[in-house]
């Protein structure tokens, strides 16, 4: 059994929340969307060590495509892979890096989706 229409709609809302999550830039009205860094996997040539350190690479667009193609059996698998995107970033990047900070914020967003 695959993901139901209701589950797919809920997953789409989760993706919308994550991909639109933003933080203010400075004191102006501009905002920076945090999900951009996590949309695609790191380039294999530039970041070869990433693929040696991270056994199960995931990215947001890959997960979204998987949902659309019916690759997931249930919504929990989708949630697990979304969480893995941010866990991988936290594992690979230094704690004080902007990528790690953004991954932490998006992981919190994912875990409390109704408030982000």
pLDDT range class, residue 1, cuts 50, 70, 90: low
Q: Pick left, alpha or beta for residue 42 (phi over 0 → left; psi -120 to 50 → alpha; otherwise beta).
A: beta
> How far apart (Å, rounded) are the C-alpha atoms in residues 111 and 51?
26
- Higher confidence at residue 2 or residue 60? 60
Q: Say if domain 5-115 classifies as CATH 1.20.920.10.
A: yes
- The answer, yes or no, to whether residue 114 has pLDDT greater than 70, is no
- The answer, yes or no, to whether residue 116 has pLDDT greater than 90, is no
Cα dist. 113→16, 21, 26, 55, 92 in Å? 10, 10, 25, 27, 24
Which pLDDT value is given to residue 26?
80
* Domain edges within the chain: 5-115
Which one, of 50, 110, 106, lies nearest residue 78 by Cα? 110
Structure-token pair, residue 67: 């949902």
Which pLDDT value is given to residue 115?
40
């Amino acid at each position: 059994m695959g993901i139901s229409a209701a589950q797919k709609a809920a997953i789409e809302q989760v993706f919308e929340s994550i991909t639109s999550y933003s933080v203010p830039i400075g004191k102006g009205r501009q905002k920076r969307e945090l999900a951009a860094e996590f949309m695609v996997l790191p380039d294999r040539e530039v970041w070869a060590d990433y693929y040696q350190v991270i056994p199960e690479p995931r990215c947001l667009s890959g997960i979204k495509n998987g949902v659309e193609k019916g690759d997931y059996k249930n919504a929990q698998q989708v949630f697990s892979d979304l969480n893995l995107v941010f866990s991988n970033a936290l594992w690979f990047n230094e704690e004080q890096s902007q990528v790690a900070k953004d991954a932490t914020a998006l992981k919190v967003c994912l875990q409390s989706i109704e408030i982000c």
